[in-house]
Protein backbone atom coordinates (compact mmCIF):
# COMPACT_ATOMS: atom_id res chain seq x y z
CA UNK A 1 0.00 0.00 0.00
CA UNK A 2 2.83 2.40 0.86
CA UNK A 3 4.55 1.66 -2.43
CA UNK A 4 1.31 2.37 -4.28
CA UNK A 5 0.93 5.68 -2.46
CA UNK A 6 4.51 6.64 -3.31
CA UNK A 7 3.92 5.79 -6.97
CA UNK A 8 0.76 7.89 -6.99
CA UNK A 9 2.58 10.88 -5.48
CA UNK A 10 5.39 10.53 -8.01
CA UNK A 11 2.93 10.34 -10.90
CA UNK A 12 1.23 13.48 -9.63
CA UNK A 13 4.55 15.28 -9.25
CA UNK A 14 5.52 14.34 -12.81
CA UNK A 15 2.22 15.66 -14.13
CA UNK A 16 2.60 18.92 -12.19
CA UNK A 17 6.16 19.47 -13.36
CA UNK A 18 5.31 18.61 -16.95
CA UNK A 19 2.31 20.94 -16.92
CA UNK A 20 4.59 23.80 -15.87
CA UNK A 21 6.91 22.98 -18.77
CA UNK A 22 4.02 22.94 -21.25
CA UNK A 23 2.88 26.32 -19.96
CA UNK A 24 6.38 27.75 -20.41
CA UNK A 25 6.65 26.42 -23.97
CA UNK A 26 3.29 27.88 -24.92
CA UNK A 27 3.81 31.27 -23.30
CA UNK A 28 7.49 31.71 -24.09
CA UNK A 29 8.14 32.63 -20.48
CA UNK A 30 11.20 31.44 -18.63
CA UNK A 31 10.73 28.23 -16.74
CA UNK A 32 12.04 28.23 -13.17
CA UNK A 33 12.75 24.68 -12.10
CA UNK A 34 13.86 25.70 -8.62
CA UNK A 35 10.79 27.89 -8.20
CA UNK A 36 8.48 25.08 -9.32
CA UNK A 37 10.05 22.63 -6.91
CA UNK A 38 9.88 25.12 -4.05
CA UNK A 39 6.27 26.15 -4.54
CA UNK A 40 4.72 23.01 -5.93
CA UNK A 41 6.84 19.99 -5.22
CA UNK A 42 8.85 20.83 -2.15
CA UNK A 43 12.49 20.16 -1.37
CA UNK A 44 13.95 16.72 -1.82
CA UNK A 45 13.18 14.85 1.37
CA UNK A 46 12.20 11.42 2.53
CA UNK A 47 8.91 10.49 0.90
CA UNK A 48 8.91 13.63 -1.28
CA UNK A 49 8.79 12.81 -5.00
CA UNK A 50 10.09 16.17 -6.26
CA UNK A 51 13.62 15.19 -7.24
CA UNK A 52 12.46 11.84 -8.60
CA UNK A 53 9.96 13.73 -10.79
CA UNK A 54 12.82 15.75 -12.27
CA UNK A 55 14.63 12.49 -13.03
CA UNK A 56 11.53 10.99 -14.67
CA UNK A 57 11.01 14.02 -16.90
CA UNK A 58 14.72 13.92 -17.66
CA UNK A 59 16.49 16.33 -19.96
CA UNK A 60 13.14 17.85 -20.95
CA UNK A 61 13.15 19.86 -17.71
CA UNK A 62 15.42 22.32 -19.54
CA UNK A 63 13.48 22.13 -22.82
CA UNK A 64 12.23 25.75 -22.70
CA UNK A 65 15.83 26.99 -22.60
CA UNK A 66 16.73 24.70 -25.50
CA UNK A 67 13.80 25.41 -27.81
CA UNK A 68 12.78 28.99 -27.00
CA UNK A 69 14.58 32.27 -27.39
CA UNK A 70 15.17 32.76 -23.70
CA UNK A 71 18.08 32.91 -21.32
CA UNK A 72 19.71 29.74 -19.97
CA UNK A 73 18.44 28.42 -16.63
CA UNK A 74 19.56 30.26 -13.53
CA UNK A 75 22.23 28.75 -11.29
CA UNK A 76 19.69 27.52 -8.75
CA UNK A 77 17.70 25.79 -11.50
CA UNK A 78 20.84 24.04 -12.67
CA UNK A 79 21.61 23.05 -9.09
CA UNK A 80 18.25 21.27 -8.82
CA UNK A 81 18.86 19.63 -12.19
CA UNK A 82 22.33 18.53 -11.10
CA UNK A 83 20.97 17.07 -7.86
CA UNK A 84 18.52 14.95 -9.84
CA UNK A 85 21.28 13.76 -12.18
CA UNK A 86 23.49 12.65 -9.31
CA UNK A 87 20.75 11.32 -7.02
CA UNK A 88 19.47 8.73 -9.51
CA UNK A 89 22.32 7.11 -11.46
CA UNK A 90 21.17 4.06 -13.41
CA UNK A 91 22.02 0.79 -11.65
CA UNK A 92 24.22 -1.79 -13.33
CA UNK A 93 21.21 -3.79 -14.52
CA UNK A 94 19.31 -0.74 -15.85
CA UNK A 95 17.74 -1.03 -19.32
CA UNK A 96 19.38 0.92 -22.16
CA UNK A 97 16.64 3.54 -22.16
CA UNK A 98 17.40 4.41 -18.54
CA UNK A 99 21.11 4.64 -19.28
CA UNK A 100 20.49 6.88 -22.28
CA UNK A 101 18.01 9.05 -20.39
CA UNK A 102 20.57 9.63 -17.67
CA UNK A 103 23.23 10.37 -20.29
CA UNK A 104 20.91 12.94 -21.90
CA UNK A 105 20.54 14.72 -18.57
CA UNK A 106 24.30 14.69 -17.97
CA UNK A 107 24.94 16.03 -21.46
CA UNK A 108 22.34 18.78 -21.07
CA UNK A 109 23.88 19.79 -17.74
CA UNK A 110 27.36 19.90 -19.23
CA UNK A 111 26.20 22.00 -22.18
CA UNK A 112 24.30 24.48 -20.03
CA UNK A 113 26.99 25.01 -17.44
CA UNK A 114 30.16 22.95 -17.50
CA UNK A 115 31.50 25.00 -14.56
CA UNK A 116 28.67 23.97 -12.22
CA UNK A 117 29.99 22.14 -9.20
CA UNK A 118 29.39 18.46 -9.70
CA UNK A 119 28.74 18.73 -13.43
CA UNK A 120 29.89 15.70 -15.42
CA UNK A 121 33.31 16.07 -17.00
CA UNK A 122 32.44 14.29 -20.24
CA UNK A 123 29.47 13.24 -22.33
CA UNK A 124 30.71 9.91 -23.65
CA UNK A 125 27.83 8.03 -25.24
CA UNK A 126 26.45 4.67 -24.13
CA UNK A 127 26.18 2.03 -26.83
CA UNK A 128 23.06 1.73 -28.98
CA UNK A 129 23.50 -1.73 -30.49
CA UNK A 130 20.17 -2.88 -29.02
CA UNK A 131 18.40 -0.65 -31.58
CA UNK A 132 20.38 -1.57 -34.70
CA UNK A 133 18.16 -4.43 -35.86
CA UNK A 134 15.14 -3.77 -33.66
CA UNK A 135 11.69 -4.51 -35.13
CA UNK A 136 9.89 -1.30 -36.04
CA UNK A 137 7.33 -1.72 -33.24
CA UNK A 138 10.03 -2.04 -30.59
CA UNK A 139 12.11 0.71 -32.18
CA UNK A 140 9.21 3.15 -31.99
CA UNK A 141 8.54 2.30 -28.36
CA UNK A 142 12.18 2.84 -27.41
CA UNK A 143 12.45 6.10 -29.34
CA UNK A 144 9.27 7.39 -27.68
CA UNK A 145 10.77 6.69 -24.27
CA UNK A 146 13.86 8.60 -25.39
CA UNK A 147 11.95 11.54 -26.89
CA UNK A 148 14.09 14.08 -24.92
CA UNK A 149 16.91 13.15 -27.32
CA UNK A 150 14.82 14.37 -30.27
CA UNK A 151 16.25 17.87 -30.62
CA UNK A 152 17.35 19.99 -33.56
CA UNK A 153 20.97 19.33 -34.39
CA UNK A 154 21.29 16.50 -31.86
CA UNK A 155 23.85 13.94 -32.99
CA UNK A 156 24.06 10.76 -30.98
CA UNK A 157 23.79 7.06 -31.74
CA UNK A 158 20.06 6.93 -30.97
CA UNK A 159 19.35 9.88 -33.27
CA UNK A 160 21.40 8.29 -36.02
CA UNK A 161 19.36 5.09 -35.77
CA UNK A 162 16.16 7.12 -36.03
CA UNK A 163 17.47 8.99 -39.09
CA UNK A 164 18.14 5.68 -40.84
CA UNK A 165 14.58 4.41 -40.29
CA UNK A 166 12.01 7.17 -40.92
CA UNK A 167 9.51 4.82 -42.54
CA UNK A 168 9.64 2.44 -39.58
CA UNK A 169 9.11 5.32 -37.13
CA UNK A 170 6.17 6.52 -39.24
CA UNK A 171 4.67 3.01 -39.13
CA UNK A 172 5.14 3.01 -35.38
CA UNK A 173 3.42 6.39 -35.07
CA UNK A 174 0.36 5.11 -36.96
CA UNK A 175 0.30 1.94 -34.87
CA UNK A 176 0.45 3.92 -31.63
CA UNK A 177 -2.44 6.13 -32.75
CA UNK A 178 -4.53 3.12 -33.68
CA UNK A 179 -3.79 1.56 -30.30
CA UNK A 180 -4.64 4.87 -28.61
CA UNK A 181 -1.21 4.94 -27.02
CA UNK A 182 -1.06 8.71 -27.08
CA UNK A 183 2.21 9.06 -25.20
CA UNK A 184 4.05 6.75 -27.57
CA UNK A 185 2.46 8.47 -30.55
CA UNK A 186 3.49 11.89 -29.25
CA UNK A 187 7.07 10.76 -28.66
CA UNK A 188 7.30 9.17 -32.10
CA UNK A 189 5.82 12.31 -33.64
CA UNK A 190 8.50 14.41 -31.98
CA UNK A 191 11.16 12.29 -33.67
CA UNK A 192 9.37 12.39 -37.02
CA UNK A 193 9.44 16.18 -37.29
CA UNK A 194 13.26 15.94 -37.34
CA UNK A 195 13.59 13.08 -39.83
CA UNK A 196 14.02 13.28 -43.58
CA UNK A 197 12.10 11.07 -46.00
CA UNK A 198 9.02 10.73 -43.80
CA UNK A 199 6.22 9.54 -46.10
CA UNK A 200 4.12 12.59 -47.05
CA UNK A 201 1.02 10.43 -46.89
CA UNK A 202 1.48 10.20 -43.12
CA UNK A 203 -0.13 13.61 -42.56
CA UNK A 204 2.08 14.33 -39.57
CA UNK A 205 0.69 17.78 -38.75
CA UNK A 206 -2.87 16.49 -38.66
CA UNK A 207 -1.73 13.43 -36.75
CA UNK A 208 -0.04 15.52 -34.06
CA UNK A 209 -3.15 17.66 -33.67
CA UNK A 210 -5.25 14.51 -33.26
CA UNK A 211 -2.87 13.09 -30.67
CA UNK A 212 -2.99 16.37 -28.75
CA UNK A 213 -6.78 16.37 -28.83
CA UNK A 214 -7.17 12.78 -27.74
CA UNK A 215 -4.33 12.57 -25.23
CA UNK A 216 -4.36 16.13 -23.93
CA UNK A 217 -5.44 15.17 -20.43
CA UNK A 218 -1.92 13.79 -19.94
CA UNK A 219 0.62 16.60 -19.55
CA UNK A 220 3.37 14.27 -20.78
CA UNK A 221 1.55 13.95 -24.12
CA UNK A 222 1.06 17.70 -24.27
CA UNK A 223 4.76 18.28 -23.70
CA UNK A 224 5.86 16.00 -26.52
CA UNK A 225 3.31 17.41 -28.96
CA UNK A 226 4.18 21.00 -28.02
CA UNK A 227 7.88 20.29 -28.55
CA UNK A 228 7.17 18.61 -31.88
CA UNK A 229 5.03 21.50 -33.11
CA UNK A 230 7.62 24.09 -32.05
CA UNK A 231 10.30 22.23 -33.96
CA UNK A 232 7.95 21.74 -36.91
CA UNK A 233 7.21 25.44 -37.23
CA UNK A 234 10.80 26.49 -36.68
CA UNK A 235 10.15 28.54 -33.53
CA UNK A 236 13.60 27.78 -32.19
CA UNK A 237 16.73 29.45 -30.90
Torsions phi, psi of 70, nearest 5?
A: -140, 170
Rounded to two decimals, the pTM is 0.89
Beta-carbon contacts of 118 under 8 Å, excluding residues fewer than 6 positions away, are 82, 86
Mean pLDDT of the chain: 87
Other C-beta atoms closer than 10 Å to the C-beta of 234 total 7
User: Does the pLDDT at position 96 exceed 60?
Assistant: yes
pLDDT computed for residue 222 by the predictor: 97
pLDDT tens for each residue of 159-188: 999 999 999 999 999 999 999 999 999 999
The pLDDT value recorded for residue 73 is: 82
Q: Which residue has the higher pLDDT, 210 or 9?
A: 210
- Residue 147 is predicted with a pLDDT of 98
Helix runs in the chain, H state only: 2-27, 33-36, 50-57, 63-67, 75-87, 96-112, 129-132, 136-145, 157-164, 166-178, 182-192, 204-215, 219-233
What is the model's pLDDT at position 2? 47
Checking 125-128 for CB contacts under 8 A at 24+ apart, the result is 125/156, 125/157, 126/96, 126/99, 126/100, 126/157, 127/96, 127/157, 128/96, 128/100, 128/156, 128/157, 128/158, 128/160, 128/161
Amino acid 121: pLDDT: 55
CA dihedral 28, 220, 212, 161 (to 10 degrees): 100
- For 122, counting Cβ atoms within 10 Å of its Cβ (0-12 exposed, 13-18 middle, 19+ buried), the class is exposed
pLDDT of 34-62, one tens digit each?
766 654 444 444 456 888 999 999 999 99
Q: What is the mean pLDDT of residues 133-158?
A: 96
Percentage of the chain beyond pLDDT 70 is: 85
Amino acid sequence: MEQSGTSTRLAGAVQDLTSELVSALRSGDRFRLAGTVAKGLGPAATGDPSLAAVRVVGADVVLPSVLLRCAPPDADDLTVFSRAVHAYPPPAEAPPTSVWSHWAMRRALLRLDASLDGAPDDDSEPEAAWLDDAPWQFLTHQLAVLAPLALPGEDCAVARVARRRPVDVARGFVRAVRRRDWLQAAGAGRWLVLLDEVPPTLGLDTGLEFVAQMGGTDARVELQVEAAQLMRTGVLV
